[in-house]
Amino acid sequence: MNLLIDDWKIIQDGFSKQKNRFFESIMSSGNGRMGLRGNHEEDYSGDTLKGTYIAGVYYPDKTRVGWWKIGYPEYFAKVLNAIDFIGIKVKINGENIDLATCRFSDYRRELDMKESVLRRNFTFFDPSGSKYEIKTERFLSYHESDIAAIKYSIKALNNDGELELLPFLNGDVRNEDANYQEKFWEYVSSSATESVSYLHMKTLKTNYNVSAAFTWNITGTDTLEKETVNLNNGEFVGTRIKVNIPEGRTVTLEKYISVTSDRYYETNEISKISQRKAQEALDKGYNSLFDAHKGKWADIWSMSDITIIGDAAAQQGIRFNIYQLNCTYSGDDPQLNIGPKGFTGEKYGGGTYWDTEAYCLYFYLGTRKPEIARNLLEYRYNHLEKAKENSAKLGTRGALYPMVTMNGEECHNEWEITFEEIHRNCAITYAIKNYTEYTNDESYLLEKGIDVFVETSRYWVSRVNYNSKKNVYMILGVTGPNEYENNVNNNWYTNRMVKWSLKYTVDTLKIMEENHKPLYKEAIDRLGISPDETEKFKEISEKMYLPEDKELGIFLQQDGFLDKDIKPADLLKPSDLPLNQNWSWDRILRSCYIKQADVLQGLWFLNDEFTKEEKIRNFKFYEPLTVHESSLSPCVHSILAAEAGYREKAYEHYLRTARLDLDNYNNDTDDGLHITSMAGTWMTIVSGFAGLRIKKGKLHLNPFKPESWKEYSFCLVFRDRIIKITVCDTDITINLEKGDPFDITLYEENVTVREGRNQYRR
């Protein structure tokens, strides 16, 4: 059983029960509104993680701890495994097709990322020796986000046969992480006729209503018996179809599914709508639906593809990451966001983390229309009042955005994260800055972003401690990005980002006062800002304490970091890694080892505020201590290594992030993919190898090419332009495919890029 290397496909050649979950994960797909793990359509009684997910549908699982503290989140959110709509029970000559128990050969499964379609084929043997070739194909439509379609074909190779096919909907599903097999859904209604079936389920507590319906069509046979099936008190509905299949003939079942929820339709209408849409899909037919779907993906790839010549593994890795990001978030709904596992598993509950602003926004800014990225900012603005409530629960003022959320409320259940990893506020301010500078669209910042700035600044004012002896402000009792350090004082990254955030708020207010007086007055009145308050923002920013070691010339991750026994991670025994699976938490906290970029994260975010020498000194100190047991870590190290001139090290970290899931680096692909860190893969090429920066509203490029690559290219969507940049041994080619001419700084020199192909010597 092998995972094959291919430019556009993820290919499983052969079957392995032991690796079934791994392949279910990497064969996942989605369309922004719903998603599926790569589960089999027919029964599978072996080890499997069934996964069907509907965007925005979750369950608030009550937090239960014996040491409840004021401000502790009331629940932990869970993304829910929803109605199983891909299921088709298959019997051939009376034997149930179950790849965990039946005899078969020549198994192959392919995820075609270019067209976003999952295909499988294998040969089944019945006990008498009759052989049947089975081929399946399915897609979740990107053109019609409520629609999915499946094509299931059986060919009789050496004998006639009798088939029994039962396409179904099953609402009796569980989350694997549920306590005591707890069920999160309740039955509402269902119906099965010979032509269409539907099932309407509702979540407990949150009362989300989801209806799935399917229609079907069968070809390749003249003999047809059919009967409706309604089992398990209505939670299992479908149609049993019996046909004869002559030797050499192929029978194909097409299943057309519509999934609707009351997030987009009236509750009392969703069942009718799902049935109507399923019927309309049948009327259009598989090929018509698939052509429209492929057209949408062609548009996506035309703006987001990265090509690599000379390294097939790297090419497959980057396309896999780009593909999964677009499966997870389509950007048309500001109520949705990006979970760390997307539609590929249950881990992390499916909530929104700071990953969105720190990593994902770059990707969507650079590869999609600006409205897509703006909707990520709208999501946070819409949750501002909840963020203020979260802060009030902790006894502070202003707004503290949650570490993890579904609806703006904090729903993370680890105290050292919930209470202490407060740097997440700054990532949101930083994202607004990035969006504004990249798009040159100030409307969000001036009309909504300023509210976020002021309220988060008010939180910082109430959270800092003033040290009168040193005349500095400190931030005590925090967890930085490195979660292998808890409850530390003066985490450099947190303090430095707060310093920047407060200053950026003051600077924005000043710009509004000078250049946008009506909006400034509205903001002052709406937010009740006084001159004394803005002076306080400024004072804290100017007097923020930043730990450093002048002798080493480094910024200290936190007070006392050098009191640890500093030993590079390469001295660890292989049996120690990963630390979080082999060491006690006490031992980890006392060690010098770093889970992910911390100080280096700040050097990347505030890149222009540090000299190259400062970046190099800190990189050389902290990189050897980092074990990268967060998927978010390698990309930041790759970008800074590239900037520092450590090209081999930059490439090493790129490979780790690009193929993190495909090569199962952290031995955890089985439970789902690392969606948010996938955006970091895009960043390593565009911001790392190509050196892309935005400075004073202008694109800057400083590209190099990894030695093993012949060339690479990527597209940028930038201010109504589509730009393709190609880097090879001797030349940089900038092709302006759409939009007006513009100036760019290339290797510190200004060049004017005009329509068509512009070639420059390296």
- φ and ψ at residue 140, rounded to 5 degrees: -105, 120
Task: Report CA dihedral (544, 546, 550, 553) to the nearest 10 degrees.
Answer: -130
Q: Are residues 683 and 696 in the same domain?
A: no
Mean pLDDT calculated for residue range 280-308: 97
Using 50, 70 and 90 to split pLDDT, how confident is the model at 417?
confident
Is-contact 705 729, C-beta < 8 A?
yes
Q: Give the integer Cα–Cα distance in Å for 671 and 669.
A: 6
Q: Give the integer Cα–Cα distance in Å for 718 and 739.
A: 9
Q: Are residues 98 and 163 in the same domain?
A: yes
Q: What angle separates helix 370-382 from helix 450-463, to the nearest 10 degrees? A: 50
Q: Which residue has the tokens 């079936």?
A: 197
Question: Above pLDDT 90, what percent of the chain?
Answer: 90
Q: Give the integer Cα–Cα distance in Å for 167 and 501.
A: 55
What pLDDT score does 286 carry?
98
Using 50, 70 and 90 to split pLDDT, how confident is the model at 273?
very high
Give the bridge partners for 244, in sequence order.
Answer: 162
Q: Are residues 287 and 412 in the same domain?
A: no
Higher pLDDT, 72 or 171: 171
- DSSP assignments along 438-501, one per residue: HH---HHIIIIIHHHHHHHHHHHHHH-EEETTTTEEE--SB--S-TTS-SBS--HHHHHHHHHH
Q: Are residues 587 and 652 in the same domain?
A: yes
* Residue type for position 153: S
Using 50, 70 and 90 to split pLDDT, how confident is the model at 368?
very high
What pLDDT score does 418 carry?
81
Q: Are residues 365 and 249 in the same domain?
A: no
Using 50, 70 and 90 to split pLDDT, how confident is the model at 178?
confident
Q: How many CB atoms lie within 10 A of CB 513?
A: 15
Question: Above pLDDT 70, what percent of the chain?
Answer: 99
Q: How many CB atoms lie within 10 A of CB 185?
A: 22
> For residue 196, is pLDDT > 90?
yes
Sorted by sequence, the CB contacts under 8 Å of residue 551 that are 6+ apart come out as none
Using 50, 70 and 90 to split pLDDT, how confident is the model at 759?
confident
pLDDT digits (tens, 9 = 90+) for 335-351: 999 999 999 999 887 88
> For residue 139, is pLDDT > 90?
yes
What pLDDT score does 347 carry?
85
- Which two structure tokens, joined as six digits, stand for 468? 């009168």
Q: Give the integer Cα–Cα distance in Å for 496 and 510.
A: 21
SS3 136: strand
Is-contact 716 365, C-beta < 8 A?
no
* DSSP classification of residue 98: B
Mean pLDDT calculated for residue range 257-261: 98
Higher pLDDT, 125 or 61: 125
Q: Give the integer Cα–Cα distance in Å for 135 and 353.
A: 39
Is-contact 345 33, C-beta < 8 A?
no
Work out the angle at residue 597's Cα, subtended by the Cα atoms of residues 594 and 599, and round it to the nearest 5 degrees. Answer: 95
Domain-ending residue, one of 668, 689, 710:
689
Domain-ending residue, one of 254, 271, 301:
301
Q: Which residue has the tokens 């069942």?
A: 271
What pLDDT score does 697 carry?
87
> For residue 514, is pLDDT > 60?
yes
User: How many independent structural domains does the chain possess?
Assistant: 3
The percent helix, strand, coil of the chain (3-state, each to 5) is 35, 25, 35
CA distances from 643 to 62, 601, 646, 753 (A): 46, 14, 8, 24
Mean pLDDT calculated for residue range 385-398: 96
3-state secondary structure 171-208: CCCCCCCCHHHCCCEEEEEEEECCCEEEEEEEECCCCC
Q: Are residues 325 and 291 in the same domain?
A: no
- Which two structure tokens, joined as six digits, stand for 661? 């899931």
> For residue 412, is pLDDT > 90?
no
- Which two structure tokens, joined as six digits, stand for 431? 């994202």
Is-contact 725 701, C-beta < 8 A?
yes
**CATH code where residue 746 lies:** 2.60.420.10
CB under 8 A, 24+ apart: contacts of 503-506 = 503/537, 503/538, 503/541, 504/429, 504/433, 504/453, 505/429, 505/450, 505/453, 505/454, 505/456, 505/457, 505/537, 506/534, 506/537, 506/538, 506/541
What pLDDT score does 66 carry?
65
Q: Are residues 563 and 623 in the same domain?
A: yes
Q: Are residues 591 and 465 in the same domain?
A: yes
Sorted by sequence, the CB contacts under 8 Å of residue 338 that are 6+ apart come out as 328, 329, 352, 355, 356, 360, 376, 675, 676
What pLDDT score does 32 carry?
95
Q: Are residues 591 and 450 in the same domain?
A: yes
Using 50, 70 and 90 to split pLDDT, how confident is the model at 68?
low
Sorted by sequence, the CB contacts under 8 Å of residue 444 that are 6+ apart come out as 374, 377, 378, 381, 432, 435, 436
- How high is the mean pLDDT of the chain? 95
Q: Are residues 654 and 726 in the same domain?
A: no
What pLDDT score does 78 carry?
85
H runs (alpha helix) in 383-423: 384-393, 415-418
pLDDT digits (tens, 9 = 90+) for 215-239: 999 999 877 899 999 999 999 999 9
pLDDT digits (tens, 9 = 90+) for 451-484: 999 999 999 999 999 999 999 999 999 999 999 9
Sorted by sequence, the CB contacts under 8 Å of residue 226 that are 6+ apart come out as 194, 239, 240, 241, 242
- φ and ψ at residue 199, rounded to 5 degrees: -145, 125
Mode of pairing for the β-strands spanning 88-92 and 161-170: antiparallel
Query: Where are the strands (E) in 350-441, listed by range?
Result: none
CA distances from 364 to 33, 56, 356, 361, 677 (A): 17, 20, 10, 5, 13
CA distances from 315 to 203, 608, 680, 685 (A): 41, 30, 15, 11
Structural domain that includes position 756: 690-762
What pLDDT score does 63 carry?
73
Domain-ending residue, one of 272, 301, 330:
301
What pLDDT score does 757 carry?
84
> For residue 39, is pLDDT > 70?
yes
Using 50, 70 and 90 to split pLDDT, how confident is the model at 756?
confident
Q: Are residues 618 and 718 in the same domain?
A: no
- φ and ψ at residue 588, rounded to 5 degrees: -60, -45
First to last CA, the chain: 43
What pLDDT score does 67 carry?
65
Looking at the annotation, which residues are catalytic? 483
Q: Give the integer Cα–Cα distance in Å for 281 and 279.
A: 5
pTM of the model: 0.96
Q: Are residues 679 and 744 in the same domain?
A: no
Query: Where are the strands (E) in 193-280, listed by range?
Result: 196-203, 209-219, 225-231, 236-245, 250-261
